[in-house]
Amino acid sequence: MEWLEREVKELPPDPAESPYEGMDPATWAKIRQPEPHSAAFWRVRLSCGHFKGQVTTDVDWRPEDGPKLSTEKRAAEMRRKLEAMWSAEGRAGWPEEGPERDHVQKMLDLRWPRPEPDQDCYACRHAWRITGYQRIGWLTPRLDTKKASDTHADAERRKAEARLAKVEAEARMLRRQLGLPSDDTGGSTKKVHVGFVGPHHLVPNQSKN
């Protein structure tokens, strides 16, 4: 994080009630500034390359000072109080469970540095790079092409079956005409033979008679 330029602003006393949703009045009373005061507002460049304005510090703070740390004792005390609050309020106390609370916990580990070395980047929140994707389905209902081709195949099959039946009927008629035995199989497969209507297969061996 790079500290670029700053602007000192005079601020009125903090409001009597906490502006932070969910913060209990006792915590707010401790951090509230009841008198008019001034603060430095910095514009910074974050590690992601985005700029952020409005990072506040004490007026006398300079980047070369580094963040001011709480004492071990004070950080431990803050942790105890926050953890008691989080468990007492059904884990719903300020800040909400999730990234914000994780951030508070991280700051406690670092002894509550001020200014915070971690700043949320609002630009990054809206600048997403797609690094992977997952198929979630069709955008429009899919045409059932499989079913359509099945229908087409069915029609073809019905046509072929009709033709087969016709050819078989013709073959039976011709055999009857010629006085030949039926070629309809009585064998195990029950399949009807078509084709091979050439006389060398079907004409009974006359020499045996």
| Residues at the contact surface with Zn ion, assessed by CB under 5 A | 48, 50, 121, 123-124
Least distance between Zn ion and beta carbon 46 (Å): 5
Q: Please, what is the minimum distance in Å from the beta carbon of residue 98 to Zn ion?
A: 19
Cβ closest to Zn ion, residue 22 vs residue 53: 53
User: Whole-number minimum distance, CB 82 to Zn ion, in Å?
Assistant: 27
* Contact in structure between 56 and 40 (CB atoms under 8 Å): yes
Tokens matching residue 135: 């198929």
Least Cβ distance, residue 45 to Zn ion (angstroms): 10
Nearest to Zn ion of 123, 173 (CB atom) = 123
In terms of CB distance, is 121 or 202 closer to Zn ion?
Answer: 121
Q: How far is the CB of 132 from Zn ion (least distance, A)?
A: 20
Comparison of 37 and 50: residue with beta carbon closer to Zn ion: 50
Complex with Zn ion: residue 56 or 119, whichever CB lies closer: 119
Single-letter residue type at 175: R
